[in-house]
Chains A and B, each alone.
Chain A
C-alpha cells in the first residue's frame, strides 16, 4: 500500500490542478479526456502545452497504476490513439478497477487523474443509417418511413456486454434547429407524415445505458422522395375566413339597423321584447300606471288590517268583531255582557261568523297542538263557526271531558300551583283518547253524566241532539239534568275529518285549560244543552265552554247560578256567571301571559283589563 499512499499524497498535492480544470498558465501538458468506446479498451488524451516547441518531443510521458498492479507503468501504446494519447488495449483494460495516470514532462509530474473504466464509456457513432418507405397517404402528400441504423461495430451488444441507447435527430433540409426523439433501445424507428415534397435530414447518436455522455453523432442522412406524380400538388385551400367574417359582420349590422328603425312592431317585439311591468295580484296595473296611489293604498290596507286583526292579542275578542264586520261591536262593552245580554242572536251571529275559510285553512295546520297562541286563536275563532263536524268533535270533547273529570281528583293539587304544566300534562292525556276513538269519550261521557250536579241549572254547553242534513247542528234546548249520553251516543258515527280533529284538538287545547278548573271542582258538570234555536247558526260549543263552566263551579259547590240567564252556548272565556267564573282571580293565580297564550281565552278580569 506504500505506492497508494504515495499516490494519495500526489493527488492531494495536485488536486487543485487536476480537478479544477483551470487553465495551466505554465503551458504544461494536461489530460483532456480518457474514453472507452466499448468497455473493453480505453485511451487517454492530453494537450501538448503551450510551449511545446521548447520541449523535446519525447519528454512527455504518461504512467499508470492499478490497484492490483501496485507499480507505475508507462503507457503501453502512444500511437494507436493518435498524437498525445495513450491507448490501452483489452489486455491492459480491467473494468471496475481504479486506475490512476500521471503525466510527466521532463521528469516532473504535470498532471494526474484517477478513474474507473466503466465511468468513461462513450461509444462511437452508429453506422449504417438508412431509411425505407413504409407507405404513402392517399392524397399523395404525406408518407411514412422507417429509419434504421446499426450499433457501432466495436460494441458487443449481441453478447450483452454493453447495452446502448440511441437518440435520433431530424429536421427539414432548410431548417436550422434539430428536433430530437426520445431515447430508444432499438436500432430502428418509424417517422410518420413526412411531406413528399420536402427533404429531411436525420442523424443518430448513442450512449451506454446508465451513463450520461453520448458519443458523437453519426453521419447525416438525407431523405428525399422521388417525385411520384408531377401533378401540381395544390396547396391547402385557404378558406377565406377573413372575407367571411367581414361580410358577416356587415350583414348583421345592416339587419340590426333595419330592425331597430323599422316600423314593424311585430318583428321588433320579437327581437327586442318589452320589459314587463310590475304586477300585483288583485290590483289593476293601470292603477299603478296612472298613479292612483290612494286606491292602491286602500286595497293594500284592507289586506293588512284584516291580517292584523287576527294576530292581535285580544284576537278572541277582536275576532268576533271581525266576523261580524261591524266596527260597532267594539264599543258595546265586554263580551261578557254581550253574551249575557238578550241579544244572544247577535252573539250567535258573532259566533256564527262567516269567513270560514280564513280560519279553517289555518286550522288545518298540522302542528296545532303546540302552544301557539295564534294558531289556537284562529282555530278558536273559526271553531266558532259551527260545523257539524265540529260539534261532533265537541261531543267527543265533552265525552272526553267526563273522563278527565274522573281524573281530576288526582290532579287537584297540581293545577292550582302550576297552570302551565297542568295544561301540558292534561293536554297529552286526553289527546290520545280523542284520537283513539270515541269509545273512551263515551265512557267519559257516561261518567260525566253520572254527576250532573250543580250544573243542572246552567246551560254552559249544549247537547247536540241531531245534525241536520244541511249541516246544522241541532242542539237540545237548554235543559238540566239531561240524562243519557246524547252527545256521545247520538253522533258516534259522525266522522270527524281532519278539520274536526283539528277543532277537537284546538278545543282540546283550550279544554285543557278548562280542565284545570274542573280539577278544582270535583263535581262533574252536567252537559249543558244548547237550545235548538241554535240550529240556524253554525254554532258550536267548545269543550272549554262546557268545562270551564264546570270548572268555574268547582271553586264552590255552587254552580254558576241559574239566576243568571245563561246563553245557549258559551265560549270559553266568556263563560258566564260572574261568580262562577272559574277564572276567578282569587281561585287561581293569574299568570296573564301564560293564561292567554295557553288557550287564547281570557278571564273576565283580564277581559275587563283588556277592553277599555
Chain B
C-alpha cells in the first residue's frame, strides 16, 4: 500500500503541474503533445482522451482474446458456467448498467468509477501474470496478453488521472476501491478449481474492460464533442 501511496503522491504532483498549466493557458484547444519534454508543456484534453480511448479499446481487445483463448484451451466441455455463480470483485462499485443510468451519471462520478476500476485491477493483473506463468503448458498467447494488459492498465490509469485532474481541477480525496482477494483460489492445488478461478477472473476482466471502454467513450463524446460524436 505504501508504494501505492507514494505513486499517488507522484501522480498528484503531476496533476498539479498539469492543472497549473491548464489554468495558465485556458484558451488553448489543442497543442502538440509535449514537444519540449514532460515538464514544460501542456497536453490538451482532447489528446488525452484520444489516447485514453485508444488504450482502453486495446485493453478490451486483449482481454477478449485472452478469454477466448483460455476458454478454447482449458474450459471446453468442463462446464465452466461459473460466471453465473461467481461475481467479480468489482461488483460492489455502483457502475451504471444501461444507457439511461450512464446518461444521468455525472462525469465526475463516472471518472472516479473508472479510476476505481482501474486501480482495483492492478493487483489481480499482477498476480494473473505470475500465476499464468506458473501454469503448466500455458500458451504464450495468454501469457503475453496478460503481461501486455498489465502494462496498459497502468498506462491508462496514469492517463485517467491526468484527465481527472484536468476535468475536475482541485481533485478530491481518492475513493477507496475494491480489493481483490482471489489469490488463494488461483493458487489452489485442485486443478479444476484453479482453472475455474482463472476462467472467472478472465471473464471479469473482459467485462470490466468493456465497462471502462464504454464509459470513456461516453465521456469523450460528452466532454470533447459535446454529445455530437
Interface mask (A71-95 → B, CB under 8 Å = 1, otherwise 0) = 0000000000000000000100111
Q: Does B217 contact A (CB under 8 A)?
A: yes
Q: Does A429 contact B (CB under 8 A)?
A: no
Pick the contact of B61: A118, A161, A210 (CB < 8 A).
A210
Stretch among B9-17, B77-85, B135-143 lining the A interface: B77-85
Whether A158 contacts B229 by the Cβ 8 Å rule is: yes
Bound complex: CA A97 to CA B203 (Å):
12
Whether A95 contacts B97 by the Cβ 8 Å rule is: yes
By a CB distance below 8 angstroms, the chain A residues around B98 are: 40, 90, 93-95
A163-B84 contact given A12-B79, A96-B210, A209-B57, CB 8 Å threshold: no
Whether A160 contacts B220 by the Cβ 8 Å rule is: yes
Bound complex: CA A546 to CA B103 (Å):
119
By a CB distance below 8 angstroms, the chain A residues around B81 are: 8, 11-12, 15, 114
Interface residues of A in 189-220 (CB under 8 A from B): 209-210
Whether B84 contacts A159 by the Cβ 8 Å rule is: no
Q: Does B227 contact A (CB under 8 A)?
A: yes
By a CB distance below 8 angstroms, the chain A residues around B6 are: none
By a CB distance below 8 angstroms, the chain B residues around A160 are: 217-222, 225, 227, 229
Distance (whole angstroms) from the CB of B220 to the closest CB of chain A: 6
Pick the contact of A8: B85, B225, B228 (CB < 8 A).
B85
Interface residues of B in 75-109 (CB under 8 A from A): 79, 81-85, 87, 95, 97-100, 102-103
Interface mask (B33-77 → A, CB under 8 Å = 1, otherwise 0) = 000000000000000000000000100110010000000000000
Whether B57 contacts A100 by the Cβ 8 Å rule is: no
By a CB distance below 8 angstroms, the chain B residues around A572 are: none
Q: Does A180 contact B (CB under 8 A)?
A: no
Q: Does A566 contact B (CB under 8 A)?
A: no
By a CB distance below 8 angstroms, the chain A residues around B222 are: 159-160
Bound complex: CA A97 to CA B211 (Å):
11
**Interface residue tally of chain B, by bracket?**
20 to 34
Whether B207 contacts A159 by the Cβ 8 Å rule is: no
By a CB distance below 8 angstroms, the chain B residues around A96 are: 95, 97, 207, 210-211
Please indicate which of the listed interface residues B79, B102, B213, B228 has the most CB atoms of chain A within 10 Å of its own CB.
Answer: B79
Q: Which residue of A lies closest to B208 (CB)?
A: A96
Distance (whole angstroms) from the CB of A94 to the closest CB of chain B: 4
Interface residues of A in 14-65 (CB under 8 A from B): 15, 39-40
Interface residues of A in 157-189 (CB under 8 A from B): 157-161, 163
Bound complex: CA A98 to CA B206 (Å):
13
Q: Which residue of A lies closest to B211 (CB)?
A: A96
- State the majority secondary structure of interface residues on A: loop
Bound complex: CA A74 to CA B6 (Å):
52
By a CB distance below 8 angstroms, the chain A residues around B120 are: none
Whether A114 contacts B102 by the Cβ 8 Å rule is: no
Bound complex: CA A11 to CA B82 (Å):
10
Whether A159 contacts B79 by the Cβ 8 Å rule is: no
Distance (whole angstroms) from the CB of A36 to the closest CB of chain B: 11
By a CB distance below 8 angstroms, the chain A residues around B229 are: 157-160
A40-B84 contact given A158-B221, A159-B222, A160-B218, CB 8 Å threshold: no
Q: Which residue of B lies closest to A15 (CB)?
A: B79
Distance (whole angstroms) from the CB of A85 to the closest CB of chain B: 21
Whether B97 contacts A11 by the Cβ 8 Å rule is: no
Bound complex: CA A1 to CA B85 (Å):
8
Pick the contact of B227: A8, A15, A158 (CB < 8 A).
A158
Please indicate which of the listed interface residues B79, B81, B95 has the most CB atoms of chain A within 10 Å of its own CB.
Answer: B81
Q: Which residue of B lies closest to A3 (CB)?
A: B84
By a CB distance below 8 angstroms, the chain A residues around B87 are: 67
Whether A114 contacts B84 by the Cβ 8 Å rule is: yes
Interface residues of A in 361-377 (CB under 8 A from B): none
Distance (whole angstroms) from the CB of B33 to the closest CB of chain A: 21
By a CB distance below 8 angstroms, the chain A residues around B95 are: 96
By a CB distance below 8 angstroms, the chain B residues around A157 are: 229
Whether A159 contacts B97 by the Cβ 8 Å rule is: no
Q: Which residue of A lies closest to B86 (CB)?
A: A4
Pick the contact of A161: B60, B97, B214 (CB < 8 A).
B214
Distance (whole angstroms) from the CB of A112 to the closest CB of chain B: 10
Q: Does A116 contact B (CB under 8 A)?
A: yes
Please indicate which of the listed interface residues B95, B98, B219 has the most CB atoms of chain A within 10 Å of its own CB.
Answer: B98
Pick the contact of B97: A4, A7, A97, A210 (CB < 8 A).
A97
Distance (whole angstroms) from the CB of B40 to the closest CB of chain A: 33
Bound complex: CA A93 to CA B101 (Å):
12
By a CB distance below 8 angstroms, the chain B residues around A95 are: 97-98, 214
By a CB distance below 8 angstroms, the chain B residues around A116 are: 207
Q: Which residue of B lies closest to A10 (CB)?
A: B81
Q: Which residue of B lies closest to A211 (CB)?
A: B64
By a CB distance below 8 angstroms, the chain A residues around B219 are: 160
* Other contacts beyond A90-B99, A160-B219: 4, CB < 8 A: A8-B85, A67-B87, A90-B100, A161-B102
5 A-B residue pairs with Cβ-Cβ distance under 8 Å, sorted by A, are A40-B99, A90-B99, A158-B221, A158-B227, A161-B218
Closest 3 CB pairs of A and B: A160-B221, A160-B217, A94-B97
